[in-house]
């Protein structure tokens, strides 16, 4: 393990001495626990789906990513690392990809300054609108209602799930987070609102009235 570092004989001897001291193993365990806690707390369904794979993924993550031990930062780093594994094909699990996106969107809204964003969003609508800052769109390729129900019950995979295009929007209300199923056509329209776009005035008004968009 130390061969990966350019150490002098003296430095190596010091490190080996420190590693052999009483209490080092406990400190390492506490360090890993502090890093794992936010991941398990804020990405519980993702971790559940990973199951036994979580051990080698966590080991690789801890070895490759530094930390400031802040919850949001640690979640962002772990999610980015997991996304790299998914994109490279080293981790082949479409359910993990979908659930990770869902939980990241949930956490994004959970930490958002809801009252301030709601106040800053204004009212009324012209033809130019953007996605409401308290709305997130997530596309599932498996029936999200059944999938989230199974995860809530902690039912171990594999699952028999209907496949297709199942977009949902997460809407952060004053007190709770609402999850709505929407049709793919509306989802495509909302995806286009990631940037400022101009649409028909009546469509813009409907989106604003539904709480999904704000005047740009």
46-91 pLDDT tens trace: 999 999 999 999 989 888 767 766 778 889 999 999 999 999 999 9
Closest to 42 in 3D by CA, of 96, 119, 104, 94: 104
In whole angstroms, give the CA distance from residue 63 to residue 41.
21
Q: What is the pTM of this model?
A: 0.80
3-state secondary structure of 28: helix
Could you give the angle at which helices 53-64 and 71-88 cross, rounded to 10 degrees? Answer: 110
In whole angstroms, give the CA distance from residue 64 to residue 81.
9
92-114 pLDDT tens trace: 999 999 999 999 999 999 888 76
**The pLDDT of residue 125:** 45
The CA-based dihedral angle spanning residues 205, 190, 168, 52, taken in that order and rounded to the nearest 10 degrees: -150
CB 91 within 8 A of CB 99: no
153-209 pLDDT tens trace: 999 999 999 999 999 999 998 778 899 999 999 999 898 887 666 778 888 888 888
**The pLDDT of residue 37:** 87
Q: Where are the domains of the chain?
A: 9-92, 113-216
């Amino acid at each position: 393990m130390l061969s990966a570092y350019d150490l002098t004989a003296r430095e190596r001897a010091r490190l080996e001495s420190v590693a052999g001291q009483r209490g080092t193993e406990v400190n390492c365990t506490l360090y890993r626990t502090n890093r794992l806690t936010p991941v398990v707390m804020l990405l519980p369904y993702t971790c559940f789906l990973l199951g036994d794979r979580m051990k080698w993924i966590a080991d690789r993550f801890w070895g490759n990513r530094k930390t400031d031990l802040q919850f949001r930062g640690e979640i962002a780093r772990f999610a980015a690392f997991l996304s790299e594994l998914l994109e490279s094909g080293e981790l082949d699990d479409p359910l993990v990809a979908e659930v990770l996106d869902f939980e990241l969107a949930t956490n994004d809204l959970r930490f958002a300054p809801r009252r301030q964003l709601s106040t800053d969003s204004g009212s009324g609508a012209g033809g130019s609108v953007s996605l409401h800052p308290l709305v997130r769109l997530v596309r599932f390729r498996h029936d999200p209602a059944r999938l989230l129900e199974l995860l809530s019950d902690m039912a171990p995979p594999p699952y028999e799930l209907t496949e297709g295009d199942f977009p949902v929007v997460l809407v952060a209300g004053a007190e709770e987070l609402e999850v709505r199923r929407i049709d793919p056509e509306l989802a495509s329209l909302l995806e286009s609102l990631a940037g400022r776009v101009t649409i028909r005035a009546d469509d813009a008004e409907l989106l604003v009235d539904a709480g999904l968009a704000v005047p740009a």
